[in-house]
Amino acid sequence: MHHEGNLRKLKSQLMNPVEYGMPLNKVVVPLNPLIGKYISLQYKGLINCIHCGRRTSKSFSQGYCFPCMRSLAECDTCIVRPETCHFAEGSCRDEKWGETNCMQDHVVYLANSSAAKVGITRSTQVPTRWIDQGASQTLPIFKVGTRLLSGKLEHILRQQVSDRTDWRKMLKGEPKAIDLRALRDQLFEAMRSQIESLIREEEDGAIEWLDAELLDIRYPVLEYPEKANPLNFDNTHEIHGRLMGIKGQYLILDKGVVNIRKFGGYRIRLSY
């Protein structure tokens, strides 16, 4: 079988294990049935911007052309640094986008992908965001009304816990379980005065403390690699091998791993 189209990030569904699909030219190819089988991704030497479709020789911010990267709100630096959201100052690149994406409920969460980390996401992106990061355990700890506020909380908490995922470690196996509820309580204790002073600055009820359930996420992986060797369409026109599993946005092949999200807009032909 063959499917050709421009890569977009993998679609996922929270099942046990997670179910993945690869969107290619209006179809979503179910990937779980291909695990254990030989697959090939052939790069056709063409990249189309995932926003405007324009042909671009280089992709920026995981799939955009240069003009889109410079003009779209979703490519602004405040997206990676949410505590710098400048919507309230009236300088958002696209107010409508900001309204639907940033001026919405967000959660601050703890996760375990290779070690403990803190992160934020729009409430509607739960659990997609966690699956995209390859988290094995997650625990929402705050609910807030805007991206900016979630960023300010994350900014406080990352003095104690990393906000990064070590993807090499994440792809080497299941992480050791962490008691995220105990970690949350420790963090609240350690950062109490900073969190409380932020709460005082904000309107009543703007920050909601959560007592949520821990979520365990399992990924469809036959065997983890000893070393996660990254494969890249900029160096090779064909990535192929036996599909050993999928975790986060990574396909784990017997010859190496490929981050599908990183190659958004690349035109490829999937064969299996």
Region of 49-57, 118-126, 128-136, 240-248 interacting with Zn ion (CB under 5 A): 49-57
Tell me, by CB under 5 A, how many residues bind Zn ion: 6
Determine which residue in the list 65, 85, 108, 215 makes contact with Zn ion, applying CB under 5 A: 65
The residue (of 245 and 265) whose beta carbon lies closer to Zn ion is 265
Q: How far apart are CA 80 and CA 90, in angstroms?
A: 19
> CA 241 → CA 18, 95, 272, distances in Å?
21, 45, 10
The residue (of 41 and 47) whose beta carbon lies closer to Zn ion is 47
Region of 47-55, 76-84, 157-165, 234-242 interacting with Zn ion (CB under 5 A): 47-55
Chain position carrying tokens 């410079």: 70
Q: Establish how many alpha carbons lie within 13 A of residue 114's alpha carbon, considering only the half-sphere containing its beta carbon.
A: 15
* Chain Cα centroid distance, residue 217: 14
Q: Is 52 in the site for Zn ion (CB under 5 A)?
A: yes
Region of 32-40, 68-76, 191-199, 212-220 interacting with Zn ion (CB under 5 A): 68-76
Q: Is 258 in the site for Zn ion (CB under 5 A)?
A: no
The residue (of 68 and 257) whose beta carbon lies closer to Zn ion is 68
DSSP 127-185: THHHHHTT-SEEEEEEEESSHHHHHHHHHHHTTTS-----HHHHTTSPPPP--HHHHHH
The residue (of 21 and 67) whose beta carbon lies closer to Zn ion is 67
